């Protein structure tokens, strides 16, 4: 889809972390809860939490689809098995892995997996630059072989919508927010966001080099599935040994995303709904078993969609980011920064933004992945208008906002 599409994706993803650090990271850490729906309950009440859990479960289950699609492509290529079989085997493997580890173990394994993919992309980038005698020569080779590589191939709304979806992703993604809640304190949350920004920047610099290497091969139009271009680049430029390590790195990156999503789904149903509203005295063992069952169901649903994926991986991820922004973005931020935001406003913004996003995705009146440009402002207007038209929250609830911004790292709960 061209370099501009990659840059819109990359700029948004790199900007996630400073944006998150200044807007919400310290504040949500001080709230003293462990999931996004828990925060919505603390700030707005039970009804908003229940709606939030439903959106989390749907959003994170769909977010499994691009992860499973990528794992199926790599698994079928490396293992020489059918794509559908690879999706099923690896999908269930991810589920068992996430269930056995839990948040603490997954945080450590994600660190290792992130290092593996970062080093792998660095090595691949060095090989590509060496073979093409530098970056300038590589870019010339890519543009001469695939002239469309440098073109603006989409309407401006696609680029802006994709940028917005990823700019907000660290704020509205339940799996990302869970990492923030798990930080030792607010200072650690902010520092983690700052340093991770550098790592994201490196990933997209290396990604640009790899994409240029792929364009120089001139094979994108010959591939049955164009998401296979990354696999083709690895095969062309790397020795079999290095390629094997790189494929392991790709699977590691997929696992580090999939396990976080499965945990978000599991926590949403088992803790935020079952333990909170159905059986308050449920034992930890019961919660764990229920969480595992929820993971299995979510994984199966994701597998069924991934067997025949609806779009390119990058576009599916863009949809998830745009959908979560449209539903959660402004109820969350205004809940942190505006005392007057109330339950009715949060419900209206959450449901109105999500519904607008779904209608735009289904009817397709605008450019691809441009939906949050319309849906997110709808959510913002609804939160503000409905909050002002209805009774203000209690003094106790308004005091929570002050605690979120306290310099102390004591929790608000």
> Domains in the chain, please, with CATH?
3-13+33-311 (1.20.1730.10)
Distance of CA 307 to the CA centre of its chain: 21
Please tell me the distance from the alpha carbon of residue 183 to that of residue 63, in angstroms, as a whole number.
24
Q: What is the pLDDT of residue 411?
A: 45
The count of residues in the chain is 413
pTM of the model: 0.79
Please tell me the distance from the alpha carbon of residue 275 to that of residue 269, in angstroms, as a whole number.
9
Mean pLDDT by 10 residues, the chain (413 residues): 84 79 77 83 94 90 86 85 90 79 66 82 94 94 90 88 84 69 71 78 90 89 79 90 84 77 81 84 85 87 85 79 92 94 97 96 87 95 97 93 74 44
CB 371, CB 361: distance < 8 Å: yes
Q: What is the pLDDT of residue 200?
A: 81
Question: What tokens were used for 71?
Answer: 């794992």
Q: What is the pLDDT of residue 399?
A: 92
Identify the burial level of 202 via C-beta atoms within 10 angstroms of its C-beta, where 0-12 means exposed, 13-18 middle and 19 or more buried: middle
């Amino acid at each position: 889809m061209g370099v501009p599409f990659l840059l819109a994706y990359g700029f948004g993803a790199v900007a996630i972390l400073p944006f998150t650090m200044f807007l919400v990271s310290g504040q949500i850490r001080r709230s003293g809860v462990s999931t996004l729906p828990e925060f919505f309950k603390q700030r707005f009440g039970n009804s908003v939490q229940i709606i939030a859990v439903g959106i989390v479960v749907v959003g994170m289950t769909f977010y499994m689809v691009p992860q499973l699609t990528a794992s199926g492509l790599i698994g079928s290529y490396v293992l020489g098995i059918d794509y559908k079989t690879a999706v099923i085997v690896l999908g269930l493997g991810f589920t068992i892995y996430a269930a056995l580890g839990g948040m603490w173990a997954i945080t450590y394994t994600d660190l290792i997996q992130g290092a593996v993919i970062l080093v792998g992309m660095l090595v691949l980038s060095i090989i590509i630059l060496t073979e093409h005698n530098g970056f300038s020569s590589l870019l010339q080779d890519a543009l001469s072989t695939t002239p469309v590589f440098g073109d603006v191939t989409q309407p401006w709304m696609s680029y802006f919508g994709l940028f917005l979806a990823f700019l907000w992703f660290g704020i509205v993604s339940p799996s990302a927010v869970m990492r923030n809640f798990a930080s030792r304190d607010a200072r650690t949350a902010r520092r983690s966001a700052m340093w991770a920004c550098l790592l994201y920047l490196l990933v997209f610099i290396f990604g640009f080099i790899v994409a240029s290497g792929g364009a120089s091969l001139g094979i994108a139009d010959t591939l049955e599935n164009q998401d296979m271009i990354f696999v083709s680049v690895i095969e062309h430029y790397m020795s079999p040994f290095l390629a094997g390590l790189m494929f392991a790195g790709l699977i590691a990156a997929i696992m580090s995303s999939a396990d976080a999503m499965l945990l978000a789904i599991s926590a949403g149903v088992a803790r935020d709904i079952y333990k909170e509203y159905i059986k308050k005295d449920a034992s930890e063992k019961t919660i764990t078993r229920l969480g595992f069952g929820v993971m299995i169901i979510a994984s199966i649903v994701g597998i069924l969609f991934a067997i025949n994926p609806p779009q390119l991986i990058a576009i599916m991820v863009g949809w998830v980011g745009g959908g979560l922004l449209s539903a959660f973005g402004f109820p969350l931020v205004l809940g942190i920064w505006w005392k007057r935001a109330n339950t009715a406003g949060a419900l209206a913004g959450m449901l109105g933004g999500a519904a607008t996003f779904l209608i735009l995705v289904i009817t397709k009146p605008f450019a691809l992945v441009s939906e949050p440009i319309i849906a997110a402002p709808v959510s913002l207007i609804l939160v503000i208008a409905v909050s002002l038209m209805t009774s203000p929250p209690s003094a106790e609830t308004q005091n929570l906002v002050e605690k979120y911004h306290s310099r102390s790292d004591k929790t608000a709960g």
